[in-house]
Amino acid sequence: MVLGRGRSQHRQQAIRANNAIKENQKLREELRRTETIVSIYTKHRWWMEEQASRSYEMIRFTEYRPSQIHRVVNDRDAIFLGIGSYGSVLQCKIGEKTVAVKIPNNRDSRKPLPSMREFNQEANKRALKMQVAILKKIRHQNLVTLIGACPERQILIYEFLPNGSLKDHLTESGQRRRFTWKRRVRAASSICSALIFLHNTEPYPIVHGNLKTSNILFSKDNGFARMLIGSDTHKTQLDVSALGIILLQLVTAQEPKDLRKNVLSKLGDIIRFQGKSMEQQHEVLKSIVDPDLKKCQLDDAAEMLFLGLKCSDPNEKHRPDLAADVWPLIEEMKSSASHRQG
């Protein structure tokens, strides 16, 4: 009986010790998360103060009448940029300011709204009104600014960023060669920072919901990546998974379809990978990493690949926390890349 009681006490002590370790881990994670959010919001405050002093246009939102939009999009200097999931995108001038005008699919700014048979007019109006109400208030150094809208024509007006999208930088060979490891890690940091900002807004988190390389644009002045945002009602985990795929694309320069499966089949899990010799690890990485990447430390590439795999894990419970786990790691990579001048 004494022996049994001793075993029971030992088991209880082990359970208490294990619980204490778990609690300590949670506290450390929460501390990292808090430090990250404080850092990101501090940088955001500085940026907002700088923008407010430099350009009132950056913090002002304008509602336009259909007649104003008609003149803008039919100006001879308007340039068709392409078609996205929302609709056509034009580069236009409003006064002296160059803007990007997004016109919904099957819409012409001169024509009246479609009939009920073509499309649920009122539902789309309400959806756009809700979207604009959210997006017009958001200002962040890594988010493309919504500077205006024409609700009657369901047209959105964004600041214009001239340096192309992340997709352009990863798919066009000339741009890809100039898209160094240092710039890729900095892009990853910008995207992650913007997501943390959105996911921690009050009173409710904002979910991007359509995060992909064509929605990551580059500014002219500093080359920072800035997300073209929507607002969605999905869970924030959707954005975490999408970020994971983008991290894999930054390393491989491959299309997203089946990318996770292909990388995982070559890389394996982290335990199996670390069990290989250094030479074997490098051979595996060389078969995955974008060959146009120069001065890329393969160890850093492996770290970003495994981070991308974790973020895009099909089981969302296995995905890391952006603020506590992902951003600190990416910041370490960014610091390392800056020191190497890659």
Determine if residue 102 is labeled as part of a ligand binding site: yes
Which own/partner contact pairs does 123-126 have at CB distance under 8 Å and 24+ positions apart? 124/154, 125/151, 125/154
pTM, two decimal places: 0.79
pLDDT one-digit tens code per residue, 175-225: 888 889 999 999 999 999 999 988 888 777 888 888 999 889 987 654 456
Q: Identify which has the larger pLDDT, 226 or 44.
A: 226
Average pLDDT, the chain: 80
What's the rounded mean pLDDT across residues 83-107? 83
Closest CA to 192 of 318, 323, 45, 308: 323
What's the distance, CA 189 to chain centroid?
Answer: 9
Note the pLDDT of residue 185: 94
d(CA 73, CA 91): 8
Q: Return the residue matching tokens 């990007």.
A: 100
- Give the percent of the chain with pLDDT over 70: 72
What's the rounded mean pLDDT across residues 330-336? 90
**Which domains does the chain show, CATH number per domain?**
61-159 (3.30.200.20), 166-340 (1.10.510.10)
Q: Identify which has the larger pLDDT, 50 or 160.
A: 160
Note the pLDDT of residue 116: 41
d(CA 320, CA 18): 21
Give the list of residues 6+ apart from residue 302 with CB closer than 8 angstroms, or none.
Answer: 267, 273, 281, 285
Specify the 3-state DSSP secondary structure of 292: coil
DSSP notation for 92-135: EEETTEEEEEEEETT--TTSPPPPTTT--HHHHHHHHHHHHHHH
d(CA 152, CA 69): 11
What's the distance, CA 335 to chain centroid?
Answer: 20
